[in-house]
A = this chain, B = another copy of it.
């Protein structure tokens, strides 16, 4: 929803045409996440479908301007007022992967973590190099803001990897493996006491 909501929020400042929206999004996010132009028009169509924007005037140069509707403005206000929820719906790819990998008997989890750690540290260093100094103008402020977000997240990732590696090293492999249930769920309600345990 972030692209959709961002474009809508930008349109709240004034009518724009598609190509211009991409430039605005790029600038405001410090060109951190490249946005395919086609996605803009796609998203605009969907926003129009949902009644949040409307196709407006056409420039003498052929620019198709889109304007936000009242419903769209309300949507932007709600978006800004509501916090981003990191609830059950937000899955962390790395956490899932390691949790699953840790329960896979034949897998060397330490190696998986090691490889990941090396990559994450490299990413972190690249981010720190890429991030300029604190004194920045408005455009670079947005960029460094986003860069900081990724740096903080990468730091937490490395810390978690170390923490996890340490915890897993303290638990023997046998206890770690969760084999497929030998007594699998049966059709219908399960009996009060499972009998067929291997």
Checking B25, B138, B152 against A176 with a beta-carbon cut-off of 8 angstroms, the contacting residue is B138
Q: Does A129 contact B (CB under 8 A)?
A: no
Bound-state Cα–Cα, A168 to B10, Å = 20
Contact with B along A22-40 (1 / 0, CB 8 A): 0111011110111000000
Taking a contact as CB atoms under 8 Å apart, the answer to whether A100 and B28 are in contact is: yes
Chain A residues 112 to 131 lying within 8 A of chain B, measured CB to CB, are 112, 115-116, 118-120, 123
Task: Note all chain B residues with C-beta closer than 8 A to A156.
Answer: 152-153, 155-156
Bound-state Cα–Cα, A33 to B80, Å = 26
Q: Shortest distance in angstroms between A198's beta carbon and chain B's nearest beta carbon?
A: 14
Give the interface residue-count category, chain A. Answer: 35 or more
Q: Shortest distance in angstroms between A127's beta carbon and chain B's nearest beta carbon?
A: 10
**Given contacts A116-B83, A123-B86, A152-B160, is CB(A23)–CB(B100) below 8 Å?**
no
Taking a contact as CB atoms under 8 Å apart, the answer to whether A163 and B152 are in contact is: yes
Taking a contact as CB atoms under 8 Å apart, the answer to whether A12 and B134 are in contact is: no
Closest residue of chain B to A112 (Cβ to Cβ) is: B80
Taking a contact as CB atoms under 8 Å apart, the answer to whether A91 and B2 are in contact is: yes
Bound-state Cα–Cα, A71 to B107, Å = 18
Chain A residues within CB distance 8 Å of chain B = 1-3, 5-6, 9-10, 12-14, 16, 19-20, 23-25, 27-30, 32-34, 61-63, 79-86, 88-89, 91-105, 107, 112, 115-116, 118-120, 123, 134, 137-139, 141-142, 145-146, 148-150, 152-157, 159-160, 163-164, 167, 171, 175-181, 184-187
Closest 6 CB pairs of A and B: A156-B156, A83-B119, A95-B149, A152-B160, A152-B156, A84-B94
